[in-house]
Amino acid sequence: MKRQFLILMVITAVLLSGCTRQGEAVSGPTVPTQEEKPDNVYNTMSETAVQYGITHENYPRMDGSTSTQGIVMAINRAMYRYLDNENLPLEVSKTVPSYKRLIAGEVDLILVPYPSSEVLALAQESGVELEFHPVAAEALIFITPAENPADNITGDQVRTIYLDYGIQSWSGLGGPDKELIPICRNADSGSQSQLDNLVLYDQPMHPKIQKNYVELTMEGMLELVAFYHHGGLDGQPTDSYALGYTLYTYLQNMNEVTGIGSRLKILSFEGVEPTEENIAKGTYSLADGYYAVLKKDLPEGHSARGILSWLQSDEAVAAIKAQGFIPLGE
C-alpha cells in the first residue's frame, strides 16, 4: 500500500512539472511558421545545378518537340536530386508551338529540330533573332511496312509523290504493283518541317494528300504506315503499302518501348542507308540535328545560358546518349 502511494506521488509530480503559470509560454518544440517551413525536398538541386548557377527559383522555362522530350528530361535529371520535382517536364508543346512560345517570350529555351521557313519569317516579323546550338544528330527517314520489298527512294521521287501525287504505285519505285499511299504530317510538326526544309523546299504538298492522308502524331505515323494495308481494326485489307516519314532517333526510341520497328522498313535515300554512323558523320544527306534555341538578346547571366553551358559538357553528351540520341560527330 505504501509502495503504491509513492508511485502515485511520483506520477503526480511529473504531471505537475508540465504545467505552467497563467500567461507563461508552453515549453517544447517550436512549430515553424509558414515562412520558416523548408522547401519541398524534391525541389533540392544537384551539385551540377550549383556549378552552373541553376536554382529552383531561377530554373528556366523550357519546351520542345515530341522527339526531344528525352533531352528536356535529361536536363531536369541533371539539375535536380529527385525526379518528382515541380519542374519535371511531363509534356511538351511540339516543334512549331515551342518556337512560337519562344518568340512570344513565354519560354527561355527550347529543344527542337531546325525550324521551317514560316517560323523563321515569324521570328523576323516579331523582331526576334534566334540563336541555335546543336546538341544531337538526327535525320529524316522514310518508312514503309516491313513486308514491302522496295528498299530505296530518291529526292525526285519524294517530290513527285508529295507535290504532284504523281507516283501512285510502288512499281514506280522498283517495288510491287501495289497502290502507294503517301501519309503526311500536320504542318506544325517537327518531321514535317524537316521534310519541307530538306526535300520539298517549302513547296506546297498536294491537297489530296493533305486532305485524305494526314496523321497528327509521331506515334500515329508509325502505326498508320505499318498497318494501313491491313485495313485497320474494322476495315478490310487493301492491295497497298503506305509511305511515311519520321525521325530516326524517335523511331529507335519508340521501338524500345513498343517494338513497332519490327513492323516497319526504313528506306535508303539516294542509295545511302540511314544508319547511326552515316547520320553522325553526315554521309546520309537528310541528316540534321536537334538544337537548343534561345533568343540572341537573352542576358549572359540568365539561367537558360547556364543550361546551354551544361549541354555543351561531356556530362551532357553522356546523358543525351543514354536517352537514345546520337551525339554529334561520333
Domain residue extents for the chain: 43-137+289-322, 139-287
pLDDT at residue 39 tops 70? no
What are the tens digits of pLDDT across the range 262-292? 999 999 999 999 999 999 989 999 999 999 9
Q: What is the pLDDT of residue 235?
A: 76
pLDDT at residue 3 tops 70? no
Instruction: Judge if pTM exceeds 0.85.
Output: no
What are the tens digits of pLDDT across the range 201-258? 999 999 999 999 999 999 999 999 999 999 865 678 999 999 999 999 999 999 999 9
Mean pLDDT of 159-168: 98
Which pLDDT band holds residue 188 (cuts at 50, 70, 90)? confident
Q: Half-sphere exposure of 272 toward its Cβ, with a 13 Å CA cutoff?
A: 18
Query: What does the block give as the cell for 157?
Result: 521521287
pLDDT at residue 182 tops 50? yes
Q: Do domains 43-137+289-322 and 139-287 have the same CATH topology?
A: yes
Mean pLDDT of 184-192: 92
Mean model confidence pLDDT for the chain? 88
The answer as to CATH 3.40.50.1820 being correct for domain 43-137+289-322 is no
pLDDT at residue 34 tops 50? no
For the domain covering 139-287, report its CATH number: 3.40.190.10
Length of the chain: 330
- Residue by residue, what is the 3-state secondary structure of the chain? CHHHHHHHHHHHHHHHHCCCCCCCCCCCCCCCCCCCCCCCHHHCECHHHHHCCCCCCCCCCEEECHHHHHHHHHHHHHHECCCCCCCCCCCCCCHHHHHHHHHCCCCCEEEEECCCHHHHHHHHHCCCCEEEEEEEEEEEEEEEECCCCCCEECHHHHHHHHHHCCCCEHHHHCCCCCEEEECEECCCCHHHHHHHHHHHCCCCCCHHHHHHCEECCHHHHHHHHHHHHHCCCCCCCCCEEEEEEEEHHHHHHHHHHHCHHHHEEEEEECCECCCHHHHHHCCCCCEEEEEEEEECCCCCCCHHHHHHHHHCCHHHHHHHHHCCCECCCC
